Amino acid sequence: MEYTFYDLLKLIGSLGLFLYGMKIMSEGLQKAAGNRLRTILASMTKNRLMGVFTGLLITALIQSSSATTVMVVSFVNAGLLSLIQAITVIMGANIGTTVTAWIISLLGFKVSIASAALPLMALSIPLIFSSKSKRKSIGEFILGFAFLFWGLNLLQTNVPDLQQNPEILHFITRFTDFGFGSVVIFLLLGTVLTVVVQSSSATMAITLIMCSKGWISFELGAAMVLGENIGTTITANIAAIPANISAKRAALAHLVFNLFGVTWMLCLFYPFVDMVAGFVTQTGPGDPTQLTAFSNSLPPETLQAVSTQDADLNPELKMMQTQLFSYQIATSYGLSLFHTTFNIINTFLMVWVVNYIARFVSFVIKKKDTDEEFQLKYISAGMLSTSELSLLQAWKEISVYTERTDRMFGLVRDLYGENNENEFVKKFTRIQKYENISDRMEVEIADYLTKVADGRLSDDGKFELQEMLRIISEIESVGDSCYNLARVIMRKREDKSVYTAEMDSNINLMMELVENALTLMKENIKEKDVVSNDGLNRSFNAESEINNFRNKLKTQNISDVKEKKYDYQASVTYMDLIIECEKMGDYIINVVEALQETKKEKKV
């Protein structure tokens, strides 16, 4: 078998297509059906057993545990599943993948999802070119889905074809007589093969070929099956490379879960294998442990002849062929049963310690300052016993929302002073993420408050809830302004506009005034029940300062352009920054006014 540099490039291209599909599928999900899909997935994974069943069902339907785990990583990356929910679904996928093994054993048939890739692309194209953003997002999701599975299929196609060239692996017969050491060696071989061929099903087929040729025993075949469980985790970890920290943790949890299972299985390996072999011998077509001995007892020419199904054989060879096929089926059943039993027991053991797995992967993959993801802190667990208490939780979440928006503005200030190209792009990308998070937080908090409104609220509570809806809308507008400022700064950079020292000083001063207003807004929200008139007055004074400074700079800008202190193109982005800062000041004061109304109502 030749494997050229061109073949390697095709493999890398397949990986690129797979990762690109993962990226646009996740982004399309996030934009198209984030909140609705979150509700569906939350109901499907509301407890551990439901999560396991969901993973099992999806994998059994689409016939690929790799596809399921990649989708789970995608959902986590889009903020649609929590880490704990994702781990339970992945556990179910491990059981679901054994269904594939049984289908191969019983029918020799496997559904190819990749065959639907081109029709899915055809469906996505009209949606992508639609004028409606919702349809466009759905089109992106479908296209990403098609690319993802097409990429997975190409990955399997462009790896070295070991299944059709098993002779390459003949050298491993030298490592079959090391006792338990051989078990470990073949476990590692199963892991490497699954990583290389990107399919645990293909590795299972290779394992069966090696057993049927008499190269390895049933016990070593079972060791390779254990290795497949580790190797199959690589797909999810590859998919998590461009994803956020939660997706990376979910992929690592998949690896940790399977490593732990393999560890305890190695401790009970021989008794467990004997138990499986005994069960298949009593209930199945034969003894799976006899395939290797039977294959080795035949001369190579005879083994070659009886291994061919359509060969014209004499009665003696026909009987040998029947015996060989019987042993092959028994071995196939034995390996499938071993795989299934192991995964069911491992899932049953590990499903009760999901929280500890989540803590462990969170400890290993620590959150960095640059990692920002969507996650509600106080209201994600649902409504409290009374609507009034739920309002208190919502206020806490609004306070977190404000903190996050303030950090976003801090990033904008850093972006304005950034000269390094790479750092500029990184910071701009982070601001884009903050903008998406800001939009989704508004929707989540608003949905929660809508549910609270269905409960029993006092008149004060109803008025307070109404003002809270107004507040989160204004905070989201502050986030929009931050993003607009970042875009103007990006435009200034692309235009290569040069600002004078006075212009830079004015912008920094305006941003300081806005920062001060934001700080006062945060304080007022935190102390909403005890906020003093002095605190409110300081916010109104800050807003007046922003307005007055904006008016002064507008007048000064006209005279400066006339005097040619800077060109007109620079003046456009300069004034856009100043005006956007003033708009942000308006949104901030709207929040403060809503707080003032809430306070007045409570006094009455």
In total, how many domains does the chain have?
2
3-state secondary structure (DSSP) of residue 79: coil
In a domain, residue 374? The reply is no
- 372 close to 437: Cβ distance less than 8 angstroms: yes
pLDDT tens profile 191-216: 887 777 666 666 776 776 677 666 77
Q: Does the residue 375 lie in any domain?
A: no
Return the pLDDT at 110. 45
- The answer to whether position 480 is within a domain reads yes
Q: Is residue 335, in this structure, part of any structural domain at all?
A: yes
Q: Give the per-residue pLDDT at 599.
A: 62
Domain finish residue from 333, 364, 395: 364
Q: Summarize pLDDT for 26-52 with one digit per residue, the tens.
A: 667 656 655 555 566 666 777 778 888
Q: How far apart are CA 134 and CA 403, in angstroms?
A: 29
Phi-psi label, residue 286: left if phi above 0, alpha if psi -120 to 50, beta otherwise: left
Helix and strand numbers, DSSP H then E, in the chain = 23, 0
Tokens at 467, concatenated:
């003002």
Q: Is 409 exposed, middle or buried (0-12, 13-18, 19+ CB in 10 A)?
A: buried
Query: DSSP assignment of 131-148, as one string?
Result: SSHHHHHHHHHHHHHHHH
Residue 600: pLDDT band (50, 70, 90) is: low
Q: Is residue 160 over pLDDT 90?
A: no
Distances 50 to 53, 54, 88, 438 between C-alpha atoms, Å? 5, 6, 8, 30
Q: Is residue 308 part of a domain?
A: yes
Tell me if 370 is assigned to some domain.
Answer: no
The percent of residues above 70 in pLDDT, for the chain, comes to: 78
* Residue 400 phi, psi (nearest 5): -65, -40
| pLDDT greater at residue 600 or residue 271 | 271
310, 330, 364 - which closes a domain: 364
Least confident range from 324-328, 341-345, 411-415, 436-440: namely 324-328
How far apart are the C-alpha atoms of 486 and 479, rounded to whole Å?
11
Q: How confident is the model at residue 487 (pLDDT cuts 50, 70, 90)?
A: very high
Query: What does the mean pLDDT of the chain come to?
Result: 79
Q: How far apart are CA 114 and CA 130, in angstroms?
A: 25
| Mean predicted confidence (pLDDT) in 380-404 | 74
pLDDT in tens, 559-587: 988 888 888 888 999 999 999 999 999 99
Weakest-pLDDT range from 21-25, 27-31, 523-527 = 27-31
Rank 89-93, 250-254, 512-516, 522-526 by mean pLDDT and report only the highest: 512-516
- Over 314-376, what HEC string results? CHHHHHHHHHHHHHHHHHHHHHHHHHHHHHHHHHHHHHHHHHHHHHHHHHHCCCCCCCCCCCC
CB 416 within 8 A of CB 489: yes
User: Can you give the pLDDT at residue 109?
Assistant: 40
pLDDT at 340: 86
**Residues 447, 355 share a domain:** no
Quick one: pLDDT band at residue 142, thresholds 50, 70, 90?
Answer: confident
Look at 167-171, 227-231, 517-521 and tell me which has the smallest mean pLDDT.
Answer: 167-171
| Average pLDDT over every residue of 1-24 | 72
Q: What are 317-348's pLDDT values in tens digits?
A: 788 878 777 877 788 788 888 888 888 898 88
Structure tokens, 186: 């073949």
The 10 Å Cβ neighbour count of residue 51 is 26
In a domain, 88, yes or no: yes
CB 594: neighbour CB atoms within 10 A?
Answer: 21
- Greater model confidence, 32 or 120: 120
pLDDT of residue 197: 67
440 or 157: which leads in pLDDT: 440
Stretch 114-135: mean pLDDT: 81
One domain for residues 406 and 345: no
Residue 163: band (very low, low, confident or very high) from pLDDT cuts 50, 70, 90: very low
């200034």: which residue's tokens?
A: 492
Q: Residue 23 CB: number of other CB atoms within 10 A?
A: 18
Q: Would 435 be classed as within a structural domain?
A: yes
**Predicted pLDDT at 167:** 57
Q: Could you say which DSSP state residue 169 is in?
A: G
Best CA proximity match to 120, nearest among 241, 41, 30, 24: 24
**What integer pLDDT is reported at residue 473 of this predicted model?**
92
Same structural domain, 347 and 255: yes
Domain residues for the domain of 447 are 387-603
